[in-house]
Amino acid sequence: MDLLHNLYLGFSILLDNPLAIMYAIVGVLAGVIIGALPGLGPSMGIAVLLPLTYGMQPVTGIIMLAGVYYGAMYGGSISAVLINTPGDSAAVMTTLDGYPLAVQGQAGKALGIAAYASVIGGTVCVVVFMLVAPIIANFAVAFGPAEYFSLMILGLTSIAGMTGKSPVKGFLSAFLGLFVATIGLDLVTGGQRYTLGAIQLFEGIDFIPVAMGLFGIAEIITVKNASSDINVDQSSIKIKNLFPNKQEWKYCAPHIFRGTILGFIIGLLPGAGATIAAFLSYDLAKRTSKRSDLFGKGAIEGVAAPECANNAASMGAMVPMFTLGIPGSGATAVMMGALMMFGLTPGPAFFRNNADFAWGLIASMYVGNVCLLILGILGLPIFIKVLKVKAPILNAVVMGFILIGSYSLNNSLFNVGLTIFFGALGYVMKKLEIPAAPMVLAIVLGAMTEKSLRQAMMLADGNIGTMLGKPIVIVVLLLALGLAFGTPIINAIKRARKSSSAKKADRQSDVARA
């Protein structure tokens, strides 16, 4: 009852303030555009639009910024599907199946399911956020360095699911990624590692230029090489066809359900965030799907799973931000800066002290997600027009966007060079059929694995037993072991049974013959 009353309060604040609804729409729209541009992610979008909110009421301002956040989460999938370049880091996994779908003339369907999955992920999590935010916030801080280490190990096992045809090539890619993750200053000693004295490398290699190079540039070069145009099936652009059919819903629904829960939980953990949520959700979908062999070749659930997870994670990340003052991602960190600017300090007493504000925001999240759905679906015919542009022109424009995007990351030409370098590397890898996704995942997870391992070892006085002896660590590591070795072991047992039963049968037939 209390909850409904609060929600009523929230909606009445919104209705009293029609401008706020307008700004929610403006925020979502800006977010979708920013998300779709390669290199510009939600945190940059929020930072750039922050000055616009200076003159606004706090509620209105934060509603707009939240709109940018979830708009960008969906926007990233647009460029991922249409031009095989993740618009932001959380959309890396969306390229794996989204782009093949586009190549097959199913771009509309892929973007449609991405929009639905995003909105479902977002809306479900608003409800969860509303119900349990203050209670589960404490769960997030139960994760210390040792627990993060085990979580990262779990994440790394998902590489096994991305290796494609050849596990050796997959692991080659992953180890290359782990190597790239070691570049930079050592967190503990401050010593330089593989930096060649270049200060640009001191903070390590950001994985956004890597992803843009490996996916975007490499794709442009290969497409030119193969001179293959994407066929656009005009009929697929009709609104009716943007709704996935019954069969497709059947494929996607369980993955959206699981991806949303997984995404929310990962989002809760500070430092894990939407990108890792999307990785893990894709992996989970691939493992649990009945048609896992179709993944990477255009499985529609391969788009749905990461998309719902990254929107769910963006909601999850708001829980520790509002209730503990711990931002779980770059975007929430900037949002927290905005809150403090408005004189509102997030923390345990936030919901109590700023009830109007908090419930107004929650109500706006419902509105924002509806806006996202409407914009996503109505905008689709426009987005898809991109594919009608002739390949040479489109490629040149995309290349321009990628290079500008990589410059704007740090306002540095160094990143542009880095993007081109990884583009060239990506081309070679494509020709050698080495998958790129394991490398990107290894770069994201590698640095965090090392950081958390070293912190955990320091906290455990160098005693690995103490470090691994924590309950959460044990559970997560067992899960990782199970995922890594479960399938081969089960297969081996099955094979052994088969062969033994086959032998039995042989023997029986031998006996019969004798």
Summarize as ranges the residues that interact with another protein (CB under 8 A): 43-44, 46-48, 50-51, 54, 140-145, 185-190, 192, 199-200, 202-203, 270-271, 320, 324-327, 330, 333-334, 337, 340-341, 343, 345-349, 410-412, 451, 455, 458-459, 461
184: phi > 0 → left, psi -120 to 50 → alpha, else beta; which?
A: left
Q: Which is nearer to another protein, 333 or 391 (CB)?
A: 333
Residue 103 or 339 with smaller CB distance to another protein: 339
CA distance 320 to 181: 27
Q: Work out the burial of residue 391: count CB atoms within 10 Å of its CB; fewer than 13 is exposed, 13-18 middle, 19 or more buried.
A: middle
Radius of gyration over every alpha carbon of the chain, rounded to an integer in angstroms: 24
CB of 70 to another protein, least distance (A): 18
d(CA 49, CA 62): 11
| Number of neighbours of residue 365 by Cβ within 10 angstroms | 25
Least separation in angstroms between residue 413's CB and another protein is 11
The torsion angles phi and psi of 315, rounded to 5 degrees, stand at: -75, -40
- What are the DSSP calls for 434-486, one per residue? --SHHHHHHHHHHHHHHHHHHHHHHHTTT-HHHHHTSHHHHHHHHHHHHHHHH
Pick the closer one to another protein by CB: 31 or 121.
Answer: 31
Nearer to another protein, 61 or 161 (CB): 61
Q: Based on CB atoms, which residue is closest to another protein, 242 or 344?
A: 344
Closest contact distance (angstroms) between CB of 327 and another protein is: 5
In terms of CB distance, is 205 or 309 closer to another protein?
205
CB neighbour burial string for 152-182, b if at least 16 within 10 angstroms, e if fewer = bbbbbbbbbbbbbeeeebbbbbbebbbebbe
Least Å from the CB of residue 212 to another protein: 17
Q: Of 34 and 113, which has the nearer Cβ to another protein?
A: 34
The smaller minimum CB distance to another protein, of residues 124 and 324, is found at 324
Torsion angle, alpha carbons of 15, 20, 21, 27, to 10? -170
The enclosing H or E element of 184 equals strand 184-185
> Minimum CB separation from another protein for residue 459, in Å?
6
Taking the complex as a whole, the smallest distance from the CB of residue 360 to another protein amounts, in Å, to 20
Question: Scanning the structure block, which residue is given the tokens 């290199």?
Answer: 39
Nearest CB to another protein, comparing residues 70 and 322: 322
* Min separation Cβ 144 and another protein, Å: 3
For residues 74 and 307, the answer to whether their CB atoms sit within 8 Å is yes
Alpha helices for 183-300 (secondary structure H):
207-211, 218-226, 239-242, 246-268, 273-288
Least distance in angstroms from the C-beta of 107 to another protein: 32
Euclidean distance between CA atoms 354 and 343, whole angstroms: 11
Tell me the closest approach of the beta carbon of residue 329 to another protein, in angstroms.
10
Q: Which residue type is seen at 467?
A: M
